[in-house]
Amino acid sequence: MSNILIIKHGSLGDIAQASGAIQDIYENHKDHNLYIMTSKPYIDLYKKNPFITDIILDMRLSRFNLIYLYLLMRKIKKLKFVKVFDLQNSSRTSFYKKVLFPNSNYNSWSSSQTTLPTNTTKEEFDKLSVLERFDHQLKISGLKTKHTLKPNFDWSCTDISKINSKFKLEKYIILFPFCSPHLHLKKWPHYNELIKLIKDELKNDYKVVIAPGPSEIHEAKNFNAECILDDGKALNIPQLATLIKNSSFVVANDTGPAHISAHIGAKGVALFGSHTTAYKVNIEREHFKAIQVSDLNKLSASKVFEKIEL
C-alpha cells in the first residue's frame, strides 16, 4: 500500500469543516494508507477518525529550529508519500512544499495554490467559501467529491452518559458565549439577557447550560447558566461534540463549537458581526442558521430568542 499525507493543523472549527474533504480523500484512495499531520490539540481527536491510518504530530516550531525541521522532514520522507493534500493552505505548509516537493504540481501536492483556477488570483479565489475552495481543490486533483460540501463530524462523538447523569441532562439549550481574547469582534455581549428570557419564557422545560474551554472556566462564572465540566475540567472535543449533538438548541458566537454544531446536525444559530460572513465560513446547514448584523452590540436578546426553535 502506498501512503498519502493530509495536512490539517487546526483550528477546531476548521477541523470540523475539513471532515467531508478527508472522507472524500479516503473514498478515492481506499487502497492507500492515509496519514494526517496535525497539531497537538487534535491528536486524540483524529485517533477517532475512521478514515485515518496514522497521525504525524507537527509541533509547528520555528522554521529556524533546524533540528526539529530536519527530523520532521526526515520522518515525512521516510514514509514516501505519493501525494500530499494540503488542507491547511498556510504559509507554513507552503514552506513545507518548497522543502519536500519544490517542483511539484497538483499531481503530487494538492493545495489551493497548485489548483488555483486559471486567470484567478489567490486573493480572488479566497473570496469563495471555505468548502467551495476545498471542493475545487479536490476536483482539480482528480477526486470525485461527495462529502466535501456536506461535512459530517459525527465520527468525533463519544459516550457521555456519566456527564448526562451527573448534570441530569435531558432537554437543554447550550450557549457558547466565549471567544478568543483577540477576537472580541466575534463576541455577542447579551447572553445573560438571553438566558433570562429563556428561563422566563420556557420556565423549567429546558436547562440552560454552557461548556467552557480550559481557559474559559473562570469566565463561565459570569453567566447565569449551568456550567458543564468533567470532574472540574473542560470537556474534551469528543465530549463537547456529543453534548452539542444531544442538545435541543445551540446559540453560539462564530467559534469552533458553532462549526461543530453546524456539521454534527444540531439545531441552532450562530451570531455574526462584521468580522466575516456566514457564507464565507459555510456555517449554515439544514437545521443550523446564522444571524448576520453589522454590529453585534446592537443585536437584542429578544431577536435571538425569536430564532430558538424547540
Cell of 90: 498556510
pTM of this structure: 0.94
Mean pLDDT, 10 residues at a time, the chain of 310 residues:
96 96 98 97 97 97 94 94 96 93 88 92 91 97 97 98 97 95 86 97 94 96 97 97 98 97 98 92 96 96 97
Q: What pLDDT score does 33 carry?
A: 98
Q: What pLDDT score does 253 carry?
A: 97
Q: What does the chain come to in residues?
A: 310
In this structure, which amino acid lies at residue 105? N
Q: Which segments of the chain does DSSP mark as H helices, in order? A: 12-17, 19-28, 43-46, 66-78, 91-100, 122-125, 130-140, 161-167, 191-202, 237-245, 256-262, 301-305
Q: How many helices (H) and strands (E) does the chain have?
A: 12, 11
| Main-chain dihedrals φ then ψ at residue 192, nearest 5 degrees | -65, -35
Which is it for strands 172-176 and 249-253: parallel, antiparallel or unpaired? parallel
Q: Please answer whether residues 16 and 136 qualify as being in contact, where contact means their C-beta atoms are separated by less than 8 angstroms.
A: no
What residue ranges define each of the domains in the chain, with the CATH number in brackets? Answer: 2-152 (3.40.50.2000), 155-305 (3.40.50.2000)
Which residue in 234, 232, 274 sits closest to 254, CA to CA? Answer: 274
SS3 286: coil
Rounded to whole angstroms, the Cα distance separating 137 from 143 reads: 9
Q: What pLDDT score does 101 carry?
A: 85
User: What are the Cα distances from residue 292, in Å, to 94, 182, 218, 270?
Assistant: 33, 20, 29, 9
Question: Which residues, other chains included, contact 108 with Cβ-Cβ below 8 Å and sequence gap of 6+?
Answer: 82, 83, 84, 101
